Each structure stands twice: as structure tokens, then as C-alpha cells.
Structure 1
């Protein structure tokens, strides 16, 4: 598999369903935050994100947000209501934080996927960590 492209592409995070995750054997879903799960300007989790996280959790999937965003308090405030652990200032495409998450939550690379919007950070970090890279379109405001 090429490091220059994602293993799968989706229009939006909501297209990554719990059914698909189970079918693909995904138990740990590492997610980028800005422009993947939320618009950069959103201060609180949208209802659809909260529902999606809960559905994934009910399906036995652990979600961890791994972001290059360096604003720790903002990240914690955003992630706390949906009860998702977060890693800020991850320095992707360096894969260290992805590997640390697999070790911490005791999942194998074969059970792990990185979901993000950018090839230059999210996809490359996944490839360097030897896990699957799934890419979504850059999240945009729908008017």
C-alpha cells in the first residue's frame, strides 16, 4: 500500500459507521479533530458528533482524538462532554502519539485506524505507524 494515499476515503466522518468499523475489525479509532470531526470554529461538539461517538462506543470501538492543535484547555473542553480522550500537540505526521495510544489502550495495529482530513499529517502518520489510514473530506460549513 502506498504511503501517498489513504486506504479508504469518505465524504464525512458520519459515513464511517459502527457497522463498517465492526466489519473491518476496527477496535481503536484514532481521529483528527479540526476539519475532520468539527469545523475549526466550533467550540462544542455538534449533536451528530455526540451521537456518532456514542454509536461507535456501543459497538465496542474506542475513540481517541489525536490532534496537532496545541490548545490543551480548548481540546479538553471540547472532548469532555462526549467522554473521548484527547491528545493535543501530536506533531503528526510523526507517529509517536498514535503508537502510544495503541499501547495505552492495548490494541494491535491491525485493529486500529487513523481517520483524518489531511494527507500531509493524518494519512502519513498512520502509514508511519503501520496502521490503516482513512481520509474524510475537509469539513466545511453547510449553509
Structure 2
């Protein structure tokens, strides 16, 4: 267990050292990421995680302001791509359609194949791409393996998986204010994508 913990600490340090001088390595939510800072850092493409970054895995919560931030960021000229490890394809199709962003699911993160597909689709250099996601072991490691930058956001509340119970805060940062979260009616929204 100690070696496992040291390995994650080392990966986190690598991610922090690799950040651009003006690019933050973490944020509470997607909407807190400064669009001008992304532009000044030379970012042109954004790879987004879906589960627990935009919408909670159990479909109860939405990241506050994320959709508006995505709209504003698109208007500023950035390209987007969604990479999700989620196994429910209808969810990814729904969010891809709702946000008007291409997606791959299951992306098998942190393996770099899907990251490379997203980068090729956006027609940018990996150093011009930032990965935004909640998990150290999938999003941050995948960005690092693909040569991209990464911003780790706080994870939306969700039922923890077994590895989250073991590693906890080492792989994900808890969302600071659950009272600020938006609600999502998955049953109604997903119906036409099932």
C-alpha cells in the first residue's frame, strides 16, 4: 500500500511540474478555469472528461456553470473533445449531442490511443491541448502519457468505487460545496438516447 501511495504522489508531482507557467493545475470546477489564461498559455484544444467532471456518475449533479463555460470557450475559438471511460454509451451520446462535442467511449483512459484520436480530430499539437478531468489515475496520467497539459478539477459527489475508497484524496479531490451543485433529471433527459 505504501508503494502505491508513493507512486500516486510521484505522478501528481510530475503533473504539477509539467504545467505551463500561467496554466493552473487544479480547479474546483470547470467553470472556474480562466479562458484567457488558457489562450495565453497557447491552448487551442480541450479534452473533457464526462463522469464526475461535467455530470456525476450517478446522474444526480451537474457541475455548476460548466455548460455556459463550454459555450463561452467555444466562442473564444477553442476546440473540444469528450473522452469517457463510462460504459453506458447512451449517456455519452446524450452529452455529446447536448454539448455539441465529439466523443469517444469507452476511451480506456489512461492509455493514450483515444487521446491521440482526439488530438488528431482537433488538428492541434499535443502541447496545445489541455485535458480537464477529475481523476489522477485516468485524466492526469492519460494527459501525461499523451504529451498534453492537464487541469484536475474537484470530483462531483458520487458513490465511490472500490479504488476510490482505498486511494481517496490521492486520486480525486472532493467537490467543496455540494449545496452549489445543479440537479439533473436523467430519466427524462436520456429517454430518446436509450
CA RMSD of superposed structures (Å): 2.1
User: Is contact 2:29-2:64 (8 Å) kept?
Assistant: no
SS of 1:94's equivalent? coil
Aligned counterpart, 1:58: 75
User: What's the TM-score, normalizing by structure 1?
Assistant: 0.89
CA distance in 1, matches of 2:107, 2:50: 11
- Bigger radius of gyration: 2
CA distance in 1, matches of 2:77, 2:90: 28
Considering fraction of residues, name the structure with more helix. Answer: 2
The answer to whether 1:33 aligns with 2:34 is no
Choose from 85, 94, 112 the match for 1:68: 85
Change over 3 Å in CA distance of 1:64–1:44 after alignment to 2: farther
Structure 1 runs of 4+ with >4 Å offset: 43-47
* Residue segments in structure 2 that go unaligned for 5+ positions in a row: 1-8, 17-24, 158-176, 180-194
Residues 114-138 of structure 1 show CA distances to partners (whole Å, capped at 9, x for unaligned) of: 1111111111111110111211111
How do residues 100-139 of structure 1 correspond to structure 2 at under 5 angstroms?
Answer: 100-139=117-156
The answer to whether 1:4 aligns with 2:8 is no
SS of 2:178's equivalent? coil
Change over 3 Å in CA distance of 1:47–1:128 after alignment to 2: closer
Change over 3 Å in CA distance of 1:134–1:44 after alignment to 2: closer
Higher relative contact order (CA 8 A, sep 6+): 1
